[in-house]
Amino acid sequence: MIMRKVRDQPWQDLVNDLKRAGTTVSKKTISNTLRRHGFKACSARKVPLLKPAHVQVLLKFANDHLDDPEEEWEKVMWSDETKIELFGLNSTRRVWRMKKDEYNPKNTIRTVKHGGGNIILWGCFFAKGTGRLHRIEGRMDGAMYREILANNLLPSVRALEMGRGWVFQHDNDPKHTARETKEWLRKKHLNVLEWPNQSPDLNPIENL
């Protein structure tokens, strides 16, 4: 019962539930029982809020690339913007789980994208090294994004000696998919990896 209930509610609530049912146990007993069965207290992972349509698109992306050789992924220049909180913390929740259940929906916190933040960075990397890291000053629009690509992406490609045949990855942020940005990418003869919405966990840059 402890293992079943602890996934769904904090252990203090579990103590109270057991007490109401006529069973008295200490917090320490519950904690020791959980650890003995391979559980540990962790912060719930944050994952994007997915609608059924998002799930289907992600599944199609996975199936389409299931048999891609490793060499193909080594040609991808991955990129992303990230917000770094200087003050305060994003909401967290402690959960008891096993290692293999890290991304079980019951052990995660759903998140949605939002603007703002104290420091926003743009960066890129590929299989053999990291590219430039650029601090974004002010609110980024499409023109600023294209300037970042010109001043950071292209020099990174040259510095890392990626050669021909490399592929650029960025997500579907409106600044990335704007007509002017697509035209800029076309004029620079850049191949862009088609990317599904709401899929930051697919991007290996999240592990840097």
Asked if residues 202 and 65 have their Cβ atoms less than 8 Å apart, the reply is: no
Q: Which tokens belong to 161? A: 């000696």
* % of the chain exceeding 70 in pLDDT: 80
pLDDT category at 170 given cuts 50, 70, 90 is very high
pLDDT category at 146 given cuts 50, 70, 90 is very high
Sorted by sequence, the CB contacts under 8 Å of residue 7 that are 6+ apart come out as 95, 96, 97, 106, 107
Taken in order of first residue, the domains within the chain and their CATH numbers are 2-37 (no CATH), 51-90+113-207 (3.30.420.10)
Q: What is the pLDDT of residue 88?
A: 47
pTM for the structure as a whole: 0.65
Q: What is the pLDDT of residue 190?
A: 97
Q: What angle separates helix 11-20 from helix 27-36, to the nearest 10 degrees?
A: 120
**Upper half-sphere CA count for residue 58 (Cβ side, 13 Å):** 15
Return the beta strands (E) in the chain as ranges: 40-43, 45-48, 76-84, 94-97, 108-111, 119-126, 129-136, 167-169, 191-192
| Over residues 101-121, mean pLDDT | 69
